[in-house]
Structure 1
Amino acid sequence: MNEVDITPVHPPYPSLWMGGYGWGPRGNNGAIARRLRAQCLVIWDNDVPKVLLRADLISVPRDVHQAIRGTLVAEGLVAHDDFLLLASHTHSGPLYGDTRPNPHVMMNLGQADVDAVNGTTWLITDAMVQLVRDTLEQARTGVTLAYAEGEAKIGFNRVSSSAAVLDTVPVLRLDTTGGDLFAVVFGAACHPVSRGKDDVFDGEYPAVAAALVEQAFGVPALFVQGACGDQEAHDPHAPATTDNLGAVLGQEVVNVLGGGAFSDVTGPVTAKLIEVELPFQVDTTNPDARANLRAKYQLRRKVMGLGDPHRRHAELMVKLIDSGELPTSLPMPIHRWRFGGLTILALAHEPLSAYDVKLRAAFDGDLWVMGYANECEGYVADNDTLRSGGNLHGGYEAGWNENDPLVAGFGSWTISYAWPSPLKFSAGATPAAGTTERIVMDACLGLLNT
């Protein structure tokens, strides 16, 4: 177990632009509430390393994820399926990467600032890769693992008051063979937006919770984010709320460690990483569909003001259509780690709570559903949310509104993440084959049942 500070400070970091909110520039000026960390935990199983790397970042874009995994695999440090990369999704951290979210569309950054963002991105990335190298070289400690769940009420469902609220707090404890606590991995499913949109770097409520656990037991504590695409931190969003929610979560982890009903977690550990393609509601492989889509975005270019993010998005979409580079689907990695007594299912992107609820209901045994795993380039909503469009939370998580499910919705995730259309859904209540929820659920259940 090892960690490194990844809080950007200028110099040497060229960019202090921050991620998490649109639609204008937001940057840090040196204020830091809590430093940002990357932490690495290596579980050696029959002399084979399983590597978990988590970081206080808003998200990891696909190209960065592939660069990190590719480097570690090429160096022979870890097998492709045995490396799991996780972001906490703090909204008080640096803008990371120049693709999705798109810095120009989301914050109107020019090329010089985007270049600076990339400079900071690769400094952080290099530090995380080196962290894995260093952790793999550490002396090994024999440990036993055990799992339990607590409950902490730190958020609500922002999409619908009748939808699920995920209050479960998964806790994985690692104890030395001598019986001493060695490390703790814990989780929650709640957007780290409790601080609000200011210009201060902060690991947010997960960092508060981790610090509380570390102070109580004197061991490292690693936070893992859940399927929180529709889970919002309690109001009001202010620094005091961050302290409060972090204390609630941290104290629950302390309570579970002090008296929870833990079940044994054993080896061997098997890992499997697959990838599915999520289609759009509009078939961007169809020339007529692309022409219709281009006409809609061309109209937005004409009617939107120069400073409007929707105009910037429309300009990008027209450019991609004209160059033949318009995406045809959203790739989604899905990662399973199976222990004796515990299965971890780590979903890429920003999955909504329905996936946690449905997967846990369909699985017989302890299942930990993680989000923001390996890469994050958009929201993955369930079919009910997708087909509701602007009728739920303005269509933000669905990706469409204004009665047009074929084009990116105003103010929705498809704008900031720079996609041409919302993900495919069924008009009826039952997800049909080839639609988003069905593809994701079938893939997940396939992994869980093999």
Structure 2
Amino acid sequence: MSAWIETTIRSLAVASTLVVLTVMPATCIADDDTKPPWRVGLANVQITPEEPIHMAGYASRKKPSEGVLADLYAKAMAIEDAAGQRAVLITADVIGFRVLLAETICHDITDKTGLKRHEILLCPSHTHTGPMMGMIDPVRYGLPPDGLARVHAYTKRLQRQIVDLAVRALADLKPAKLSWGIGTSNLVMNRREFTERGVELAVNPRGYADRSVPVLRVESPDGNLRAVVFGCACHNTTLTGEHYELSGDYAGFAQQHVQQEHPGVQAMFMIGCGGDANPYPRGTVEAARQHGRELGTEVCRVLSGELKPVGGPLRVEFDGVEAPLQPVPAREQVEQMAKGPSYIAYNGQRMLEALDNHQPLPTHHRVPVAVWQFGKDLTLVGLSGETVSEYVPLIEKAIGPRRLWIAGYCNDVFGYLPTAKILKEGGYETRGLFNEIGLFSVETEAAVVGKVRQLAQKAGRELPE
């Protein structure tokens, strides 16, 4: 081959390369620049009991449910960042996951998906018009054998449904963009009223409550809305023990409203730190529907406004803090507890049984804490138990108030999680553990807040001095 031909071929090759380089960057480079930092998968399933079932939430109920006011749902959202870090959020219209059920579900999910335990977050809506769940004490709740069998059968079915949800959500992963904002809610009312008889469950307009409504928008790369996650720090108790129709209460109606306004979108609810807050007003189906409409309308308003982008990477942390319990009181005090109001009598009776049988009583109780860190843009804290509202300013002080979403009731609803202040004041939220024995001590607050700070730092959140 002549030198002229070789030179010509090289020149044509260079020219072709230049043409490719001048044409391709507009597509290839732009594709890299605009590639969404997330992949999100969604799944949902109806979990309404198929037959009458004893309901959770109010000890005054003595018979099974009587019909369905609104269907119950469980929903899953799988998230994957650009590096392949995955996590699954599961929400459900149920009163709460106790640790045994929660860990069984998570174990089955890890077996089927390869996820690790810390990559799974379970969040109930805490509806008080849903079914009883778990391996409950039939004597305490007065259930007949057939009623107990239905509760156990429903729990097993729910367990399978939630595991399948996680599998389906992970199989549905698609490119997505995330953004978030915060609204406000007027339905939240502090319920700790100070009276001459002590702190009672009532209405306290001057009491602290977290009225924020955090909203996470999930959209496709072209901007189409796919899912919405939102929260409200309020007991899901518009409906009372006199109501026997199954429903998700205001939280269920709020999700329904968002989905009606945005057809095809999956709306998911995460209850906040509302252990000492009730909806106001309450007691009627119309009030529950109205609260749901108002909350759903606020979520839609936030969605239509200017939201802040949420980038990666995703860091997820999960651990338990051994929260200290109060020392066992003198026997005389325990006997008085056992004769007291129903909400404290159970703990007293269990303590007496343990003392009579010379059984050692626990000194600590494990309180799960989860933190999901979305780049530098958002920190999601998942506290467990019926977390009271005062944990919100305590955590804001510990890890900073900005770019922060605090949820309660996650992973294990073992009882109320009170602050030191509430423990000193007294009242319903100081009742202790539901099924185990023990009352939290004032040191619990510092232990929980300290664990949140530790996990937030580990996840990469910038902390205040």
Normalising to structure 1: TM-score of the pair?
Answer: 0.83
Cα gap change, 1:68 to 1:210, in 2 (>3 Å): same
Residue 407 of structure 1 is matched in structure 2 by none
In the alignment, structure 1 residue 146 sits paired with structure 2 residue 182: no
Contact persistence 2:388–2:416 (CA under 8 A): yes
Contact persistence 1:152–1:249 (CA under 8 A): yes
Residue 283 of structure 2 is matched in structure 1 by 237
Which of 100, 112, 123 is the aligned partner of 1:86?
A: 123
Cα gap change, 1:206 to 1:17, in 2 (>3 Å): same
Contact persistence 1:333–1:348 (CA under 8 A): yes
Question: How far apart, CA to CA, are the structure 1 residues paired with 2:429 and 2:373?
Answer: 30
Question: How far apart, CA to CA, are the structure 1 residues paired with 2:345 and 2:439?
Answer: 18
Residue 118 of structure 1 is matched in structure 2 by 152
Q: CA deviation at 1:233?
A: 0.5
How much identity, in percent, do the aligned residues show? 27
Q: CA deviation at 1:163?
A: 3.0
Q: CA deviation at 1:91?
A: 0.5
Residue 28 of structure 1 is matched in structure 2 by 65
Which of 220, 230, 238 is the aligned partner of 1:176?
A: 220
Aligned 1:64-75 pairs, distance under 5 A: 64-75=101-112
Which of 65, 69, 78 is the aligned partner of 1:42?
A: 78
Residue 394 of structure 2 is matched in structure 1 by 358
Contact persistence 2:343–2:428 (CA under 8 A): no
Contact persistence 2:176–2:219 (CA under 8 A): yes
Q: CA deviation at 1:98?
A: 2.7
Cα gap change, 1:52 to 1:309, in 2 (>3 Å): closer
CA deviation profile, 1:44-73 (whole Å, cap 9, x unmatched): 223332101110000111100110111222
RMSD of aligned Cα (Å): 2.3
Aligned residues: 400
Cα gap change, 1:66 to 1:325, in 2 (>3 Å): farther
Which of 35, 45, 48 is the aligned partner of 1:4?
A: 45
In the alignment, structure 1 residue 263 sits paired with structure 2 residue 308: yes
Contact persistence 1:149–1:170 (CA under 8 A): yes
Cα gap change, 1:191 to 1:79, in 2 (>3 Å): same
In the alignment, structure 1 residue 444 sits paired with structure 2 residue 448: no
**Runs of 5+ consecutive residues of structure 1 not aligned to the other structure:** 284-288, 390-394, 400-412, 426-434
CA deviation profile, 1:296-317 (whole Å, cap 9, x unmatched): 556777x799xx7876655444
Contact persistence 2:112–2:167 (CA under 8 A): no
Residue 192 of structure 1 is matched in structure 2 by 236
Contact persistence 1:347–1:370 (CA under 8 A): yes
Specify the SS of the correspondent of 1:133: helix
Q: CA deviation at 1:378?
A: 0.5
Aligned 1:416-431 pairs, distance under 5 A: 417-425=434-442
Normalising to structure 2: TM-score of the pair?
Answer: 0.80
Q: CA deviation at 1:118?
A: 1.8
Of 17-26 and 344-353, deviating more is: 17-26
Residue 298 of structure 2 is matched in structure 1 by 252
CA deviation profile, 1:4-47 (whole Å, cap 9, x unmatched): 1111112xxxx701001114524203x11110000000012233
CA deviation profile, 1:161-188 (whole Å, cap 9, x unmatched): 3431211110000111111111111111
Question: How far apart, CA to CA, are the structure 2 residues paired with 1:112 and 1:9?
Answer: 15
Contact persistence 2:58–2:240 (CA under 8 A): no
CA deviation profile, 1:258-290 (whole Å, cap 9, x unmatched): 12x31110111000001011222125xxxxx6x
CA deviation profile, 1:365-415 (whole Å, cap 9, x unmatched): 3110001101111001111110111xxxxx10022xxxxxxxxxxxxx65x
Residue 228 of structure 1 is matched in structure 2 by 274
Question: How far apart, CA to CA, are the structure 2 residues paired with 1:229 and 1:421?
Answer: 18
In the alignment, residue 50 of structure 2 is paired with which amino acid?
A: V
Question: How far apart, CA to CA, are the structure 2 residues paired with 1:110 and 1:324?
Answer: 29
In the alignment, structure 1 residue 396 sits paired with structure 2 residue 428: yes
Question: How far apart, CA to CA, are the structure 2 residues paired with 1:225 and 1:237?
Answer: 20
Contact persistence 1:24–1:108 (CA under 8 A): no
In the alignment, residue 90 of structure 2 is paired with which amino acid?
A: L
In the alignment, residue 396 of structure 1 is paired with which amino acid?
A: Y
Residue 432 of structure 1 is matched in structure 2 by none
Specify the SS of the correspondent of 1:246: helix
Cα gap change, 1:180 to 1:119, in 2 (>3 Å): same
CA deviation profile, 1:317-362 (whole Å, cap 9, x unmatched): 4444427374432211000000020000000111100111221244
Question: How far apart, CA to CA, are the structure 2 residues paired with 1:304 and 1:422?
Answer: 15
In the alignment, residue 131 of structure 1 is paired with which amino acid?
A: L
In the alignment, residue 266 of structure 2 is paired with which amino acid?
A: P
Question: How far apart, CA to CA, are the structure 2 residues paired with 1:312 and 1:339?
Answer: 42
Specify the SS of the correspondent of 1:385: helix
In the alignment, residue 381 of structure 1 is paired with which amino acid?
A: P
Which of 168, 173, 181 is the aligned partner of 1:134?
A: 168
Specify the SS of the correspondent of 2:110: helix
Residue 31 of structure 2 is matched in structure 1 by none
Contact persistence 2:237–2:282 (CA under 8 A): no
In the alignment, residue 372 of structure 1 is paired with which amino acid?
A: Y
Which of 135, 139, 151 is the aligned partner of 1:104?
A: 139
Which of 181, 184, 192 is the aligned partner of 1:159?
A: 192
Cα gap change, 1:108 to 1:446, in 2 (>3 Å): same
Cα gap change, 1:51 to 1:19, in 2 (>3 Å): same
Specify the SS of the correspondent of 2:381: strand
Cα gap change, 1:120 to 1:213, in 2 (>3 Å): same
Residue 21 of structure 2 is matched in structure 1 by none
Of 314-323 and 140-149, deviating more is: 314-323
Contact persistence 2:44–2:74 (CA under 8 A): yes
Question: How far apart, CA to CA, are the structure 2 residues paired with 1:311 and 1:226?
Answer: 28
Cα gap change, 1:130 to 1:32, in 2 (>3 Å): same
Specify the SS of the correspondent of 1:32: coil
Specify the SS of the correspondent of 1:75: helix
Tell me which structure has the larger Cα radius of gyration: 2
